[in-house]
Structure 1
Amino acid sequence: MYNREGKNIRDRISDIYRESDWGYYLLRPFYLLYTLGLKIIPDKFIIKSSFKKHMGYTLDLDNPQTLNEKINWLKLYDRDELHTLVADKYKVRAYVEKKIGAKYLIPLLYQTKDSNNIRPENLPDNNYIIKTNHDSSGGVIVRESSEIDWNSTRKRFKRLLKENHYYSTIEWQYKNIEPRIIVEKLLTNDDGSIPDDYKCHCFNGKLEFVMIDFDRHTNKRTRNLYDSNWNLIPCNWGRPYGRDVPRPENFEELKFLAETLAKDFKYVRVDFYLVKGHIYFGEITFHHASGFQKFYTDECDYKFGQLLNLD
């Protein structure tokens, strides 16, 4: 069930839990009880139940065929300490620097394990983003430090540092990440807008398609998929089609960088930002939408699934 803003009820409850004092203290006991249950129930049971709920059919782990099925197979059977390292938005920086070079990293302005250190005197005056390294909660965009409620912001991140993303997604790579807060320079276009991100989906080390999300900080989010030759793919995944965009001038460089970072993994999504002719690394994600996002047609899910070799 969705409200007028396009968020489902679970997302609305999550917002209340994260962003309001009364919501946090009211819902915290239920959250702890929920995570306790998740710790007791086998991962396989939770994944199969969640898959049926989101996708509408039974997950076949013995002979997965669709891309979403294979993503969930990977969640259970492809677990490695390297996954934990590169899923950590702080520690992945050293990995990226070693693999492709420091020039592709977004400038890191500050990092801490203590939310009490998130104060304007420790940070720039403007244009940065505050986020955690261990989950997918997004972040707080700061255009001007003077406009931020710092008490509320510290409280928000104090709570986030207590969360373990693994128990809500059964994505193992998040389980052992040491939580911390990182502050990065805010990337913007010439008009001050937030740049679109280019999500490079790589199968067995090769770029198969690029997903571009448009207006992702609004309620009018759209998405296009382009193949490795920059042809628009007549399949869409979770979002309606957006505006067509020309092939980036530095697309071959983008492709090379994505495949370089992906070569050690069966399936991975490597995100980049293209800003003023420069490529910046965003993050590495192993299970897009946790493997629970429908394509607009089942044929697309099957088609992409056949391209991914799990052997």
Structure 2
Amino acid sequence: MLSTQLKTYTSSFINKVLNREGGGFAKRIRHRNSEFWGTPEGKTIKAIPMDAQDPLTKWQDIKYWQRKLSNKHNSIEFAKKYGCLVPEIYWQGSDVSTIYTQNLPDKFFIKPTIGAGSKLVFLMDGTFNLMDQQHYTLDAIVAKLGEAVRNDSRLEFIVQEFLRTEEGNYKIPDDYKIYLFNGEIACIQLINRLSPHKGFTTCYDENWKQIKEINTYYAKGAYQPPPACLPEMLEQAKRLSKVYEIFVRIDFYATDKGAVFGEFTPTPFMGKSFTPAGEQMLLAYWDKYCPGMI
């Protein structure tokens, strides 16, 4: 009895430590974050605009060039360069007053080009933002975006299409988060999102066999069948990862158009909330397929 209680306590303690500080994988992610963004040049690199027509040598002309892809405009251009489907862009810029010149549809999606955590994100169905469950007029949205730009001159916003599900429905899209190491897939984390920070998650291997959850940030969900576009999603993810080379999580959406690229995430969850088994698996892939890499 005492032995069982001790094992339970030890397991609980380890999980609490991993949630708060993380293990070896988290240390690598924190080191990467420091190397990527801990220098004065780090913030300016995000703001360097790139184009799908730019040669790869231009993309890779700086140390840790992958930092350019943390700009969501650049990530879309890079995905286009390698043949991925991307959302239709209605408007992009920092002069948010010009949004009024666009004949926006009733449903659209707004996101900043830099930043994480679903801040300043509007997934609009008419005047209703599905992300924070609040109503906004276009005037109110533009006012919020304008204030953000005044506080950070590097900031731009993208207004893009509201992607439909494979069934043609409008809802907060499910995220297919693929953990990749130089073209090798470690796992696929499916997140059924209810809001920016709430939802359910399940994890699968490359053959869509369900595996234990690698991260506890979201509540555990139930098995779901693979999307119809899974083969093209994985093929595109591998193609992008081979060029990106170092570890990255690449996010996709399953839509009625097929697999649509979402974004690159070089420091997922800042390394926190990964389970011991998740840490072990990701470290093993890192050491095997990206040895010695940042």
TM-score, structure 1 normalization: 0.67
Structure 1 residue ranges without an equivalent (≥5): 1-51, 60-64, 165-176
- Deviation at residue 194 of structure 1 after TM alignment: 2.7
3-state secondary structure, aligned to 1:72: helix
- Which residue does the alignment assign to 1:243? 222
1:179 counterpart (117, 142, 155): 155
Number of the residue aligned with 2:169 = 191
Q: Which residue is 1:139 aligned to?
A: 121
- Counterpart of 1:84? 67
Residues 1:109 and 1:68: Cα distance change in structure 2 (over 3 Å): same
- The answer to whether the 8 A contact 2:108-2:160 is kept is yes
With over 3 angstroms needed to count, the CA separation of the structure-2 counterparts of 1:162 and 1:223, relative to structure 1, is farther
For residue 42 of structure 2, what is the aligned residue in structure 1? none
What is aligned with 1:126?
A: 106
- Contact conserved, 1:125 with 1:145, CA < 8 A, in 2? no
For residues 260-279 of structure 1, what are the structure 2 equivalents within 5 Å? 260-263=239-242, 264-276=244-256, 278-279=258-259
Distance apart, 1:153 and its partner CA: 1.4
Give yes or no for contact 2:76–2:263 (8 Å, CA) kept in 1. Answer: no
- 269, 274, 285: which is aligned to 2:265? 285
Deviation track 1:192-246 (CA, whole Å, cap 9, x = no partner) reads: 2232111111023311111111134277511111111211111341222112111
Is 2:201 aligned against 1:200? no
Give the residue type in structure 1 aligned to 2:212: P
CA contact (8 A) 2:201 2:213 kept: no
The aligned amino acid for 2:232 is E
Deviation digits for residues 263-301 of structure 1 (CA, Å, limit 9, x no counterpart): 22311111111012611111111110122x212x42332
Greater per-residue strand proportion: 2
SS of the residue corresponding to residue 114 of structure 2 reads: coil
**1:199-218 equivalent positions in 2, closer than 5 A:** 199-217=177-195
Shift in Å, 1:261: 0.9
- Which residue of the other structure, out of 224, 231, 237, is the alignment partner of 1:258? 237
- Gaps spanning 5+ residues in structure 2: where? 1-15, 38-62, 129-134
Corresponding position of 1:24: none
Query: 1:256: how far off?
Result: 1.2
Cα offset, 1:87, TM superposition = 1.3
Measured on the aligned residues, the alpha-carbon RMSD in Å equals 2.8
Structure 2 contact 76–261 (Cα < 8 Å) conserved: no
Judging changes above 3 Å, is the alpha-carbon distance between structure 1 residues 209 and 272 closer, same or farther for their aligned structure 2 residues? same
Deviations for 1:61-116, whole angstroms, at most 9, x for unmatched residues?
xxxx7322222222234684532321111122221111124xx0100011121122
